[in-house]
Structure 1
């Protein structure tokens, strides 16, 4: 265990996340390793256990020339164990008996339970995943597949295709000795190495016509919203500017008797610091970082096809998140300084550990259930140590650097209007203009713009589909940000026109409310689109969906606040204030 802990630490700090597990190049008769990964119920993808938790037996070969495990493997519950089967490059193997199992009552019950619950297992050859079923039911009898036939395609010195055929069905009965066999057939293939993962993709599910139709609808929504925002706001503001210009030409007596109202009346309070500035600035800093990470990882996935390498997408996300911690510190620290904050060390610590504590806290709670179930999703202690080291020795120093930089370069307040010493009382307004109502309504249109893509993303993560259409995801991501900014600007203008200057939190939460609708949709997806069951799968699903929704909310909230902040500064810098 200690050696694995050291390996996890060295993996992240010394090995690039873009490195492959192997060179993927083999000479004739060179060792090819068959890794046994996990086994679990078909309908509960995340409820996985080590392959040998079922009473399978291991082959006679004991040593291998290499072994590699990454941080992302441990976090994803990947437990690679050597199968013990001897496979050499281009060397056919006839039907070979590699081990036997004597079915005691306990082993018999374990296999029966696995067959009854539709267990299937996953293996890897040269990073290519292979799936197979443990057995099947027939006429209320339970049968176990005992023969594995591997058809491996090669192109030059590289493996480009692997197919598994399960054969030889043996009826499960107690106190019977079962022999497990395998055979390997090598075949020359015309598949190019860079195209070898295409067989795992499902273009029928990710229909491009549906994606284009969805994006077209969302794009039309964007055009409508941008046009609506431009027309309503510019027309209204033009009238306001004209009225305010006329007000400057009349004397003070007439101005006092005039019927002034609207957003100009709160010019002395609109740039007042938001309540709870430490939390607010930390959320905005984390939102800047998340937006940067999501955009960067999507671009990397498009350029590098990260889905073709096991764990590479998660490894890239961890690396990019740690490397962009200075972005969090810069924007969070500068905003806190502009709000007049004094305890900047506390703010920096909250900003640095807000998301890691949220993620680790959720994972820690789910980990207890995983340990109780003896599931492979239980995060090892060594991985926890590695994540802690990343937070302390990478994320914290970079956040501190960014925070100092932000305070010195962008921490000076430069508001176009002077802030009054005494806050102006907020007048009564109609119920639909209250901040809670605006917050609830603010997320509806942004959620509508990503609704269809959410279905594909959910299915790829919670079912057996590999998401690979990252170009569409990038377009949807840009549409989401655009719709969020437009909707939040409209909501903020209505709020300010009602002479309510509490726009910072309102704009943030109105944009972040999109995540609430996503989480509500996750309930619908769980009960009507999946067949998941059991405490572990339910806790895993709703726990990580809450985490996903929270991260989405922080990101959307930040984008909405930043767009609204630019709008507010623009309108108040244009109007001449006495």
Structure 2
């Protein structure tokens, strides 16, 4: 009996823990009739600018009074934000809007706010640049409602316009009207389970319909005489006595704010599907996503066939001829490639070829030229292919940081594909991504140290320090410098000083020790990778290369193929980031498939490029494989530049600077990730083929 009681206590405790455990997007909040629903105001943003601004700090907004208290929230209070929310420019504050579940409110007065001439000018600039406001109810962003092109379905675009710019005719001065009235449509559904039996409801939609209503013709309570009026509020200061335009510097405009609230039941829309309304427009393009996958599969399939021919026929045939003819044939071919030596020198010492033979333990050089036609170029560099590359002390930290990014990207894709990360987890991608990146410091130190020791490095602590600080340091320095420009614009996108200090602490106090642990284990406990063939004492001369095998041309040509694989899906990512008002990309299933195909393509392209390079007797493949793997980032950045001029309407120096700098930073991170994949695949390929010819 005592044992059963203990089991019951343990079970109840576990049940309580499971109820307390919160996966973003899966925690249901239900409301009973008459219960207050808090409305949060966040920020304003625009497709034409990279700068965002906190809604409560705008000159035309009524400051919260603190008189509304609901659900533990007090109006005017700022919510605690996670790291991702701070970095994406969120500044969420409780508003004074009163929403009572199930209670319609035809018209409600909020406040009147007086704006001076400077504030009016600033408001006009925001309207001209197309800024929209983001409000939040029950973790749903306020949305503008649209219909699909065939008018069969409705969909949401997050945000609503703060005003309208009207140009009446050619050469006419634009007029600016502020939306000082909003109609809030809250769509609800019966709550699941016991809450539903008790009459509670869950919110499945939040629509905002803004309207501009003139300041005059108001009742004593500040309500408009006719809410359907077509007389709008123009942002022009007027005299309080005459109502005429006031041209003085101290002129002001008093703006009255009102709102309406309506609750409507949505019987067909379940709570777990409420975000689908924001993605209807993207669902209509699913055929194009499938086209992207088919396009990627075709390109990857052709490459797979090429690699299969190289591995199954060419390389295996070369290895067979090599084993049948022996090592002597290669040495004679190497002698011919270097130029015919004098008979006296050949007879006395055999020149460089005898040194190669001594290193490999075989000094018997054959002079039989009849079998040379069967020897291909990649076997001629067997004594130099594993020679330590120049600047290996830089390549090792780059490969280490690349493995760190691979772990982070894989984790984000997996979590997103299973729905753990989703748009309802505001800032989740950045927060979780940062956490994964820091934890992956173990992998970074491990791989960096093993590559460093393979290159013959001795100062492993120095390598660990460079690995832990090089890429994160460059990222932090770039973000910090750009942040100065954002600070100067008083944008909410500016990272607060406290957050910067926290990031530095996260970097130096957590990531650096993890990199050190991984580096110690990789260098001291595991050690270097062994190579099947030792390097010659004296490097062989590399012949003149064809135009397509030269470094820049080869990198540029090889990078186009992975870019072609992701081009179509990349178009959706760009559109979601900079054109769609919703700003949410959610088809991570398609992205995961395309990403897998991309990795396969990068591996195959790098192997082909490395094989061609070795066949031309060029053994400097270490850096080349890394650069070829990451070369598609050049094409992506070029596409980004084209997208800026052809599709976007971003204006202003700071916004353009942020777009290009952060775009370049993202492409560099992508290039580091794919470059590491290319390097590791090329290294495995080279070890495999040269290990095969040495195995006999």
Say if 2:183 and 2:209, in contact at 8 Å, map to a contact too.
yes
1:214 equivalent to 2:292? Answer yes
SS at match of 2:691: helix
Match of 2:188 among 150, 154, 157: 154
Deviation at 1:341, TM superposition (A): 1.0
**2:359 aligns to what?**
none
| CA gap 1:391/1:424 in 2 versus in 1, 3 angstroms | same
Moved more, 497-506 or 400-409: 400-409
Match of 1:484 among 602, 607, 613: 602
SS at match of 1:178: strand
Moved more, 421-430 or 543-552: 421-430
SS at match of 1:84: coil
Match of 2:44 among 22, 30, 39: 39
**In structure 2, distance between residues paired with 1:91 and 1:327:** 56
Match of 2:481 among 359, 365, 373: 365
**In structure 2, distance between residues paired with 1:299 and 1:89:** 37
Deviation at 1:19, TM superposition (A): 5.4
**In structure 1, distance between residues paired with 2:574 and 2:413:** 16
Count of matched residue pairs: 563
1:48 equivalent to 2:55? Answer no
SS at match of 1:307: coil
**2:111 aligns to what?**
99
1:136 equivalent to 2:252? Answer no
Say if 1:42 and 1:120, in contact at 8 Å, map to a contact too.
no
| CA gap 1:230/1:357 in 2 versus in 1, 3 angstroms | same
Deviation at 1:295, TM superposition (A): 1.6
**In structure 2, distance between residues paired with 1:514 and 1:42:** 27
**Residues 294-316 of structure 1, C-alpha deviation per residue, up to 9 Å, x if partnerless?**
12111111112512321112222
**2:156 aligns to what?**
none
**2:413 aligns to what?**
298
Say if 2:451 and 2:528, in contact at 8 Å, map to a contact too.
no
**1:195 aligns to what?**
273
Deviation at 1:202, TM superposition (A): 3.8
1:400 equivalent to 2:506? Answer no
Moved more, 25-34 or 266-275: 25-34
- Scaled by the length of structure 2, the TM-score of the pair is 0.76
**1:381 aligns to what?**
497
**1:470 aligns to what?**
588
1:177 equivalent to 2:254? Answer yes
Deviation at 1:205, TM superposition (A): 6.8
Say if 1:417 and 1:572, in contact at 8 Å, map to a contact too.
yes
**1:524 aligns to what?**
642
**In structure 1, distance between residues paired with 2:560 and 2:368:** 41
**Residues 454-480 of structure 1, C-alpha deviation per residue, up to 9 Å, x if partnerless?**
111111112224211111101111111
**Residues 53-83 of structure 1, C-alpha deviation per residue, up to 9 Å, x if partnerless?**
2321134444652433211111111111232
**In structure 2, distance between residues paired with 1:254 and 1:246:** 16
Deviation at 1:323, TM superposition (A): 1.9
**In structure 2, distance between residues paired with 1:68 and 1:183:** 29
**1:57 aligns to what?**
62
| CA gap 1:197/1:330 in 2 versus in 1, 3 angstroms | same
Say if 2:632 and 2:671, in contact at 8 Å, map to a contact too.
yes
Say if 1:30 and 1:88, in contact at 8 Å, map to a contact too.
yes
**In structure 1, distance between residues paired with 2:21 and 2:460:** 34
Say if 1:60 and 1:98, in contact at 8 Å, map to a contact too.
no
**In structure 1, distance between residues paired with 2:491 and 2:474:** 22
**In structure 1, distance between residues paired with 2:25 and 2:584:** 19
**In structure 2, distance between residues paired with 1:393 and 1:193:** 41
**1:312 aligns to what?**
428
**In structure 2, distance between residues paired with 1:113 and 1:273:** 58
Deviation at 1:154, TM superposition (A): 2.5
**1:163 aligns to what?**
207
1:125 equivalent to 2:125? Answer no
Deviation at 1:28, TM superposition (A): 4.7
Say if 1:47 and 1:537, in contact at 8 Å, map to a contact too.
yes
SS at match of 2:418: helix
| CA gap 1:165/1:268 in 2 versus in 1, 3 angstroms | same
**1:539 aligns to what?**
657
**In structure 2, distance between residues paired with 1:215 and 1:338:** 38
Greater Cα radius of gyration, structure 1 or 2: 2
| CA gap 1:186/1:261 in 2 versus in 1, 3 angstroms | closer
**2:340 aligns to what?**
none
- Scaled by the length of structure 1, the TM-score of the pair is 0.91
**2:241 aligns to what?**
none
Deviation at 1:429, TM superposition (A): 3.1
1:457 equivalent to 2:457? Answer no
Moved more, 452-461 or 101-110: 101-110
| CA gap 1:247/1:22 in 2 versus in 1, 3 angstroms | closer
Show the 5 A alignment for 1:284-363: 284-304=399-419, 305-363=421-479
**In structure 2, distance between residues paired with 1:234 and 1:282:** 34
Say if 1:152 and 1:162, in contact at 8 Å, map to a contact too.
yes
SS at match of 1:186: strand
Deviation at 1:42, TM superposition (A): 4.2
**1:7 aligns to what?**
none
Deviation at 1:26, TM superposition (A): 3.9
**In structure 2, distance between residues paired with 1:413 and 1:200:** 50
**TM-align CA RMSD:** 2.5
Deviation at 1:235, TM superposition (A): 2.4
| Structure 2 unmatched ranges of 5 or more | 1-19, 74-78, 143-158, 169-173, 192-200, 214-231, 238-251, 329-363
**2:557 aligns to what?**
441
Deviation at 1:283, TM superposition (A): 1.1
| CA gap 1:413/1:48 in 2 versus in 1, 3 angstroms | closer
| CA gap 1:110/1:410 in 2 versus in 1, 3 angstroms | same
Say if 1:332 and 1:403, in contact at 8 Å, map to a contact too.
yes
| CA gap 1:232/1:97 in 2 versus in 1, 3 angstroms | same
From the two aligned structures, give the one with the greater helix fraction: 1
| CA gap 1:347/1:90 in 2 versus in 1, 3 angstroms | farther
Deviation at 1:30, TM superposition (A): 4.1
